[in-house]
Amino acid sequence: MSDKATFEFLCRMGDNTLVLGHRVSEWCGVAPVLEEDIALANTALDLIGQTQMWLGLAGEIEGRGRTADDLAMTRDAWDFRNVLLAEQPNGDFGQTMMRQFLFDAWHLAMLQALTRSCDTRVAEIAAKAVKEVRYHVERSGDTVIGLGDGTEESHRRMQAALDLLWPYVGEMFIPDAVDDAMAEAGIAPDLTELRAGFDSHVGSVMEAATLTIPDTDFAHKGGKSGFRHSEHLGHMLTQMQWLQRAYPGASW
């Protein structure tokens, strides 16, 4: 097992939570109601906290003296390893919550598997994160059901969000050389083995929400390898990283 593969895997976990956490934080102060404003801010804080753990360990494994903050704030878009789903724009509130639920359902399954990792450091991080993500997926799932099985307008918007975001789901389950190396070493699960549970979970929520999952196997991919990100990530990073880029090493 190479440190390079482990570093890549840890960056994937940390970049997923960093990018999605920043996306969710964009709702702060502008959410539909005060309760949602607070809930979304707390979700973002949970995700950024998980980022600190994943990228902190990645920096240790890399051995180049880079901290979690360095990895978050000084890498360019092509060095990020998040799945494409995480970087998609917020859209309306329904689109945000659909994106959140689809990610949460995968995230919970992944973290539960990682609590059994042969790497005790990975297992410990997963055990901490999974407590928060259990709540995330319950909340996002309930919201998807409430809006999907709500008014005619809310149902229309939720179906449109599902149609838009479903093609980004497949990337989370398509293994590559890094995923295969992690699975072979017993550090992370075989991604293909997580799909059945994910489909069952998501299917039950969508049925309750009276939403129809698109009948397609097409999957956008390239994000977690850094080979291809959407244009949205670069725009997001200009907002997220500008202070550290403009004033390297600034502290307050």
HSE value, Cβ hemisphere, 13 Å, CA-based, for 29? 1
- Is 70 exceeded by the pLDDT of residue 1? no
pTM for the predicted model, two decimal places: 0.97
Can you give the residue ranges of every domain in the chain? 3-246
Distance CA 41, CA 29 (A): 9
- Measured CA to CA, the distance from residue 156 to residue 161 in angstroms comes to 9
Tens of pLDDT, residues 57-105: 999 999 999 999 999 999 999 999 999 999 999 999 999 999 999 999 9
CATH of 3-246, picked from 3.60.21.10, 1.20.1260.10, 3.40.50.450, 3.40.50.150, is 1.20.1260.10
* Gap between the Cα atoms of 85 and 87, Å rounded: 6
Q: What's the start-to-end Cα distance of the chain, in Å? A: 39
DSSP 33-97: SHHHHHHHHHHHHHHHHHHHHHHHHHHHHHTSS--HHHHHHS--GGG----HHHHS---SHHHHH
- DSSP at 236: H
pLDDT tens digits, 137-181 = 999 999 999 999 999 999 999 999 999 999 999 999 999 999 999
